[in-house]
Structure 1
Amino acid sequence: MRLEDVRDVKLDWRGSMMPPATPDPDDPPVRWHRCFSWAETAIAWILLIVPALLSALSDQTAEHRNTTLLLAAGAAVWLGLLTVTLRGKLRDHPLAAVAMFAGIATFGSILQYRDAYFLIFMVYGFFAAMRMRPMLVSFLGVGITSLLINTMTLGGPIHALSVSPGIWGTVVIVQTVAIGGGGALFAAVGKQSQERKRALEQLAAAEAENRGLQRQLLTQAREAGVLDERQRLSQEIHDTLAQGFTGIITQLEAAAQARDDTSEWERHLAAATQLARENLTEARRSVAALHPEPLEAATLPEALAEVTRLWSERTSVPAEFSATGNAVPLHPELEATLLRITQEALSNVARHAHASRVGITLSYMGDEVTLDARDDGVGFDPADPPPPPSPEGGHGLPGMRRRAERLAGTLHVEAEPGGGTAISVRLPAVPAATLDPTEGAS
């Protein structure tokens, strides 16, 4: 899933003004829906039981009271059939909602006509009306309930409207707009809450997928890096150590043939000793290149600052390092790559640039990290870059570009003869938190 797949939240005004008792199977379960369903069912029974008790205790004839209670029992059977027996999708079916409202309106209006206490039960008609859909039907149900609840105790809608049509018409219209509008707003808020929850879950899933892709990318980069290091070491051993050992053997063989000439013997032995020392230095340099030692006890900005300082002391070229943005720990593969690119960039400056000043800048920019290396040296023509690296080591610009591209980054070079060189590397700022627990042991 991609982040752009998450759509804007839109409300469907064709639906019911009430949230369904049970969320759609495709939607994540929402706790407040179940609570609302239970509360609505409880309210329906309370609104029926309370007026029934009041009617039973009222001062009426036994025949009138018994008939009223019998009708109340019929309303209870109808209510139980549609609120207790029907569950889930059946209860939310449009026909079930219409049947519920029809039963409530019929039993409620008759009961209210016989006993004003059952006006309390008629209030549930608003709840039943707001379950119907489409919304136009819901508003119609609210209007019918308002008309009945306001006129049944006065002899019914026809009698009340014939006596005072302006008053009762206004009351019904205002009540319908107020209750219907409130129900519509409630439905909109509920639907928006569902859509927002779904959007957040989609974003969380997309973020988890992105983290997985980042881990996969870094794993592939590590594997490619291992192969690259093997090739580099193979070439370096061939170009330096193997040639050095060949020279040592040659000098020792020459010394053995010159045993009678002391001065010649000593010269060949001294040359062999010097070659052995140079080979030892090369071996130590190759071993040091296998692991970014400066990152073992320092953060990336501290390590780059120290590398820049030591390079400046060694080459006597003024060099400055600066870091911008909020420095956060990055994935070890990223930090090692940025360190190696910095070392290679400085090495290129020492070999080719003849610069009088160098600047290194590390910038943390949210989801990206950039490294900029600038010098005021002789520059070069981008169409004719410096020659391939010598046996002394290094990968040059192609090597730096390969390192960046392995981590889904880019390397951009700006240079001109006599105008210096600027190298800019952009990498995704994958946080250290994406490192798998198993990776730390490797």
Structure 2
Amino acid sequence: MRLEDVRDVKLDWRGSLLPPATPDPDDPPVRWHRWFTWIETTVAWILLLVPTLLSALSGDETAGARNTTLLLAAGAAVWLGLTTVALSVKLRDHPVAAAALFAGVVTFGAILQSRETYFVIFMIYGFFAAMRMKPMPVAVLGVGITSLLINTMTLGGPIHALSVSPGIWGTVVVVQTTAIGGGGALFAAVGRQNQERKRALERLAAAEAENRGLQRQLLTQAREAGVLDERQRLSQEIHDTLAQGFTGIITQLEAAAQARDDAAEWERHLAAATQLARENLTAARRSVAALHPEPLEAATLPEALSEVVRLWSERTGVPAEFSTTGTAVPLHPELEATLLRITQEALSNVAKHARASRAGITLSYMGGEVTLDARDDGVGFGPADPPSPPSAEGGHGIPGMRRRAERLAGTLHVESEPGGGTALSARLPAIPAATLDPTEGAS
């Protein structure tokens, strides 16, 4: 642990000097706490067993006195069994149970130590029992009581020892209490801090998992909305182009059938029907080509956008530049398709409305966000001028681009003024390609 971590430790005045044997009931069990409880219980029994064996093997007492000592040691063992083994870990950490454990340990320990010096070993466990009590002032008081008894019981008891040498034993008790209590407090604070960090990490992991789920839900909703929008667009386009074209073809063919006796009129109607059929075929091909972003099939998003900009510049004769900033990463297919469509529509608007002499597209990767900026030096438009309307070729202008961005929790901003060109910026969350479910990829 770093020094600054120790300085930042905040001691909970209501807590014990030891971290609880179990974490918060809402948290999963922590292996470290189980090991700590097991070790503490084992130490308690060892600290009682060692002096009991030494006392039993010692020849300093009479048989009756030794039996009395062993009987008291058995009573201490029963008390340990009731307060450590019989109780569950949760009940053992209860303030009343902790206080009962401490009271029994120091009572049996003080009596046994007054009869046999060996039991000063068992009194050491009094410090552990004291540090389990709550609130903290009670735990510190318990440490002080244990220190006083462990240092004076072999000298005739606390009253006699303090009356003979109050300065010495008072200083010993204060220093020992401060050292053990302060060390226990720091240990408890560090333990609680570690638990809080663990809970924070678990909450962070849960939030990340929830965020991934929300991203998948967002993309699913965006895909469904995109499918519905595409159906509406195709329905409108079929009505506006193909259906009307077929109606015109039928009309011309019917007129040609009625003009069989007039060769010139018949040929004119037949030529018109043929021309309408060709135009409908072109419109149908254009609609099919717009269904899928072909440039993304064999290229990354920056490569695809660069190619779109290059071909547009060659076709329109307007110089255009494409640039990328940040580290390019694979994005979710829905995102990449949306950015490609926005780029195509933005360039289409420049060609139709801007009368620009230069244009530029910039794709920026900025950690959790990806931005597409389109700019031109064209005629621009003012606040009172409407944005570009839906085009006859199936585009949706600025409103359509904005809807595409908003479906993926993004935004689209446009800045323009008459004679000052136009700047368009689309910002979308940079959802990685890994967000795609395996089941989605197979569909």
Q: TM-score range by the shorter chain?
A: over 0.9
CA distance in 2, matches of 1:386, 1:198: 51
Match of 1:3 in 2: none
CA 11–260 in structure 1, closer or farther in 2 if over 3 Å, else same? farther
The gaps in structure 2 that reach 5 residues or longer are 1-7
Give the letter for the 1:361 counterpart: T
CA distance in 2, matches of 1:228, 1:9: 56
Match of 2:37 in 1: 37
Matching of residues 215-234 of structure 1 within 5 Å: 215-234=216-235
- CA apart distance, 1:346: 0.6
Deviates more, 1:407-416 or 1:428-437: 428-437
Match of 1:18 in 2: 18
- CA apart distance, 1:256: 5.2
Deviates more, 1:29-38 or 1:389-398: 389-398
Match of 1:209 in 2: 210
CA distance in 1, matches of 2:256, 2:128: 109
Q: Between the two proteins, what is the percent identity of the paired residues?
A: 87
- CA apart distance, 1:191: 1.4
Match of 1:60 in 2: 60
Give the letter for the 1:100 counterpart: L
For the 8 Å contact 2:349–2:388, the answer to whether it is kept is no
- CA apart distance, 1:176: 0.5
CA 153–387 in structure 1, closer or farther in 2 if over 3 Å, else same? closer
User: Over residues 83-104 of structure 1, what are the superposed CA-to-partner deviations in whole Å (9 max), with x where a residue is unaligned?
Assistant: 1111133212212111111111
CA distance in 1, matches of 2:43, 2:210: 45
Q: Which secondary structure state, in structure 2, belongs to the residue aligned with residue 362 of structure 1? A: strand
Matching of residues 400-415 of structure 1 within 5 Å: 400-415=401-416
CA distance in 1, matches of 2:275, 2:256: 14
- CA apart distance, 1:387: 5.2
CA distance in 2, matches of 1:9, 1:256: 96
Match of 2:150 in 1: 149
Q: Which secondary structure state, in structure 1, belongs to the residue aligned with residue 438 of structure 2? A: coil
Match of 2:378 in 1: 377
User: Over residues 51-77 of structure 1, what are the superposed CA-to-partner deviations in whole Å (9 max), with x where a residue is unaligned?
Assistant: 111222223133332222222111111
TM-score in terms of structure 2 length: 0.92
Please say if 1:339 is aligned against 2:340: yes
For the 8 Å contact 1:315–1:350, the answer to whether it is kept is yes
Match of 2:397 in 1: 396
Matching of residues 130-145 of structure 1 within 5 Å: 130-145=131-146
Deviates more, 1:11-20 or 1:365-374: 11-20
CA 217–65 in structure 1, closer or farther in 2 if over 3 Å, else same? same
Match of 2:244 in 1: 243
User: Over residues 273-326 of structure 1, what are the superposed CA-to-partner deviations in whole Å (9 max), with x where a residue is unaligned?
Assistant: 443333222211101111111112222212111111111111111111112122
Match of 2:427 in 1: 426
Matching of residues 133-212 of structure 1 within 5 Å: 133-212=134-213
CA 56–190 in structure 1, closer or farther in 2 if over 3 Å, else same? same
- CA apart distance, 1:407: 1.6
Q: Which secondary structure state, in structure 1, belongs to the residue aligned with residue 323 of structure 2? A: strand
TM-score in terms of structure 1 length: 0.92
- CA apart distance, 1:209: 2.2
For the 8 Å contact 2:391–2:397, the answer to whether it is kept is no
Q: Which secondary structure state, in structure 2, belongs to the residue aligned with residue 298 of structure 1? A: coil
CA 21–390 in structure 1, closer or farther in 2 if over 3 Å, else same? closer
Output the aligned Cα RMSD.
Answer: 2.2
For the 8 Å contact 1:367–1:429, the answer to whether it is kept is yes
CA distance in 1, matches of 2:97, 2:390: 81
Deviates more, 1:111-120 or 1:131-140: 111-120
Q: Which secondary structure state, in structure 2, belongs to the residue aligned with residue 438 of structure 1? A: helix
CA distance in 2, matches of 1:302, 1:13: 62
Deviates more, 1:255-264 or 1:362-371: 255-264
- CA apart distance, 1:20: 2.5
CA distance in 2, matches of 1:382, 1:409: 23
CA distance in 1, matches of 2:104, 2:387: 90
- CA apart distance, 1:271: 4.5
* Alignment: residue pair count: 435
- CA apart distance, 1:13: 2.4
- CA apart distance, 1:242: 2.5
For the 8 Å contact 2:10–2:189, the answer to whether it is kept is no
- CA apart distance, 1:212: 2.2
Match of 1:360 in 2: 361
For the 8 Å contact 1:248–1:275, the answer to whether it is kept is yes
Q: Which secondary structure state, in structure 1, belongs to the residue aligned with residue 134 of structure 2? A: coil
Deviates more, 1:400-409 or 1:274-283: 274-283
For the 8 Å contact 1:378–1:418, the answer to whether it is kept is yes
CA distance in 2, matches of 1:164, 1:406: 83
CA distance in 1, matches of 2:431, 2:296: 17
The gaps in structure 1 that reach 5 residues or longer are 1-7
Give the letter for the 1:85 counterpart: A
Deviates more, 1:300-309 or 1:274-283: 274-283
- CA apart distance, 1:105: 0.8
Give the letter for the 1:293 counterpart: E
